[in-house]
Amino acid sequence: MIPNPIRKVLSIFQNYEVRALLMGGQACVFYGAAEFSRDTDFAVLADEDNLARMGGAIAELRGEVIAVPPFAPEHLLRGHAVHFRCHHPEAERMRVDVMAKMRGVAPFPELWDRRAVLEGEDGARYDLLSLPDLVTAKKTQRDKDWPMIRRLVEADYAAGSENPTPAQVRFWLTEARTPELLVILAKRFPAECATLAAGRPLLRQPLHVDGLREALVAEESAERAADREYWAPLKRELEAMRRAV
């Protein structure tokens, strides 16, 4: 169930017609891989009109920027997150984090075109990153994100395994993070597995649990290293901003 403060943030963003896609822990809740989160994370369109609408929503939420960088399109387009703390009585202390660019994630117009529109317990409809895009966004250096990727894929497989679409099969084979599930998928969908092996080298080897376990560790390590490399210059920029304050 979505806590009331988060529902308030979502409803105000909708009222201002902000082009924003829910991601992070609250999106994981919608996709059946529950993750407790006190924050509301969004991917946003960083154009002038949309950021003006978002500024109105943040003002109604009585939001203040915390930490660095300040709320400005150039920082969002560079890849930084902007962090707000809300002081609206129905969303007191709620943190809202927004990003416009993420490593390996498609530009916002593409994300918007393939977004998921899901219904909450209250009957309201919410725009989310599609499940494949959410998984891509979670391929970070943070320890907590990799178990969540596994749960997201496994929850989707459990929900759709009886009559899967080609897109689901492709998603499972591309993103599954447990050897046991990969073995099952390779046996069920050998042709698709062979086709996708060009983009995921671990699918080329004989799919045995022990070998896959090592290959998955190596795959994760490579993604973590790429994320550290991506963030290194951005972290230097943040440090420079902090020193300038």
Segment 91-134, tens digit of pLDDT: 999 999 999 999 999 999 999 999 999 887 777 889 999 999 99
The CATH number of domain 4-133, selected from 3.40.50.9100, 1.10.287.70, 3.30.413.10, 3.30.460.40: 3.30.460.40
Residue 198 is which amino acid?
A
- pTM value is 0.94
The per-residue pLDDT of the chain, averaged, comes to 94
Picking from 107, 95, 97, 135, the residue whose alpha carbon sits closest to that of residue 46 is 107
- C-alpha 33/C-alpha 140 separation (Å) is 18
Tens digits of residue pLDDT in 34-88: 766 678 999 999 999 999 999 999 999 999 999 999 999 999 999 999 999 999 9
Residues in contact with 52: Cβ distance below 8 Å, sequence separation at least 6, in sequence order: none
* Two structure tokens written together for 8: 């308030």
- Is residue 232 classed as helix, strand or coil in its secondary structure? helix
Residues 20-49 as b or e (16 or more Cβ within 10 Å = b): bbbbbbbbbbbbebebebeebbbbbbbeee
Domain ranges, ordered by start, for the chain: 4-133, 145-230
Q: Are 23 and 44 in contact (CB under 8 A)?
A: no
Q: How wide is the angle at C-alpha 27 spanned by C-alphas 127 and 2, nearest 5°?
A: 95
Q: Are 172 and 196 in contact (CB under 8 A)?
A: no
- C-alpha 116/C-alpha 1 separation (Å) is 18
- C-alpha 81/C-alpha 76 separation (Å) is 6
Q: Which residue has the higher pLDDT, 203 or 124?
A: 203
- C-alpha 190/C-alpha 186 separation (Å) is 5
Residues in contact with 130: Cβ distance below 8 Å, sequence separation at least 6, in sequence order: 111, 114, 115, 116
By percentage, how much of the chain surpasses pLDDT 90?
A: 84
